[in-house]
Homo-oligomer: A and B are copies of this chain.
Amino acid sequence: MSAVTSPLVWEHVQPAAARRLLTGAIDAFAERGFQATTTRDIASRAGMSPAALYVHYPSKERLLFEISLYGHRAALEVLRDADKGDGPRDRLSGMVSAFTTWHAEHHTIARVVQYELAALTPEHLAEVAAIRRAISAQLEQAITDGIADGSFTVDDLPGTTLAILSLSIDVARWYSPTRRTPSDLGTLYADLALRMLQA
């Protein structure tokens, strides 16, 4: 089984051959990086000849863009779904826990999402960058609310927001499922984030 087919649902990608190419590309990009991955490698993971890739995607970069766009949207959705609970402490704890858990659980796609931005065309990068700003804004709002109601004490709002986000994102770089479960890590990181913000 591929490293990503199970946890994330890719049924919206049709037909099945296009989906096999996409999940194969995620695994290959995560293992070797976009530049070191060949179209022949992606095609053979999907059980096809190299030319078949171009029936479904116009270029290797477009494949990366589809992955990056879907991954960013999924991460933002996870964060927004978790932005609930009573008061800023609960909201922030839920968001950090969910966002961290997602990066651990889906570290394969998260690696592509976070470390292959430079391989996108400027137009595609701009589209993805807008989602990244929304992610940051979502977290910053909860921290701002927490400062206003006295739940948090923060010297440097943008710096601290970036630090908490950065902590979760970097999980994609080092995470391996052998030591800890994604949700255990989410719990730990939510606690660390609350400590960073405490009044």
Contact = CB atoms under 8 A, between A and B. Distances in A.
Interface of A: 32-33, 35-36, 114-115, 118-119, 155-156, 159-160, 162-163, 166-167, 169-171, 173-174, 180, 185, 188-189, 191-192, 195-196, 198
A118 B32 CA distance: 7
Contacts of A156: 188
Contacts of A32: 118
Contact of A155 (B119, B174, B191): B191
Given A35-B33, A196-B192, A166 B174 contact: yes
A7 B57 CA distance: 44
Given A166-B174, A195-B196, 19 more contacts: A32-B118, A33-B35, A33-B118, A155-B188, A155-B191, A160-B188, A162-B174, A163-B189, A166-B167, A166-B170, A167-B167, A169-B170, A169-B173, A170-B170, A170-B173, A192-B196, A195-B195, A195-B198, A196-B196
A188 B188 CA distance: 21
Q: Which 8 A-B pairs have the closest CB atoms?
A: A35-B35, A170-B170, A35-B36, A166-B170, A192-B196, A195-B196, A159-B188, A195-B195
A163 B159 contact: no
A186 to B, nearest CB: 11
Contact of A163 (B36, B155, B169, B192): B192
Nearest to A100: B163
Contacts of A169: 170, 173
7 contacts: A36-B119, A114-B173, A155-B188, A163-B167, A169-B170, A169-B173, A170-B170
